[in-house]
Amino acid sequence: MEAFNLKIFRYDPEKDAGPHWDTFRIPYREGMTVLEALLRVVEHDDPSLAMRYSCREAICGSCAMYISGWYRLACKTQVKDALEDGTVTVSPLPHLRVIKDLVVDMEPFWRNYERIKPYLIEDGPPPERERLQTPAERAQYAEMVDCILCGACYTSCPSGVNNEEYLGPHALLWAARFYFDSRDAGKDERLNRVANENGIFRCHTAFNCVETCPKHLNQTEAIQRLKAEAVKKALALRR
Rounded to a whole number of angstroms, the minimum distance from the CB of residue 133 to ligand FES is 29
Of residues 150, 157, 171, 191, which one binds ligand SF4 by CB under 6 A? 150
**Between 10 and 169, whose beta carbon lies closer to ligand SF4?**
169
Q: Is 219 in the site for ligand SF4 (CB under 6 A)?
A: yes
Q: Is 61 in the site for ligand FES (CB under 6 A)?
A: yes
Strand order, beta sheet including 70-73: 20-27, 3-10, 87-91, 64-67, 70-73
How many residues bind to ligand SF4 according to rule CB under 6 A? 17
* Residues between 74 and 113 with contacts to ligand FES, criterion CB under 6 A: 75
Q: Is 53 in the site for ligand FES (CB under 6 A)?
A: yes
Rounded to a whole number of angstroms, the minimum distance from the CB of residue 151 to ligand FES is 11
Q: Among ligand SF4, ligand FES, none, what binds residue 53 when CB lies within 5 to 8 Å by partner kind? A: ligand FES
Q: Is 42 in the site for ligand FES (CB under 6 A)?
A: no
Q: Is 62 in the site for ligand SF4 (CB under 6 A)?
A: no
Q: Is 59 in the site for ligand FES (CB under 6 A)?
A: yes
* Residues between 167 and 186 with contacts to ligand SF4, criterion CB under 6 A: 169-170, 173
Q: Among ligand FES, ligand SF4, none, what binds residue 62 when CB lies within 5 to 8 Å by partner kind? A: ligand FES
Q: Which value, to the nearest 10 degrees, does the dihedral of the CA atoms of residues 77, 83, 89, 91 take?
A: -20
Binding site for ligand FES (CB under 6 A): 53-56, 58-63, 73, 75
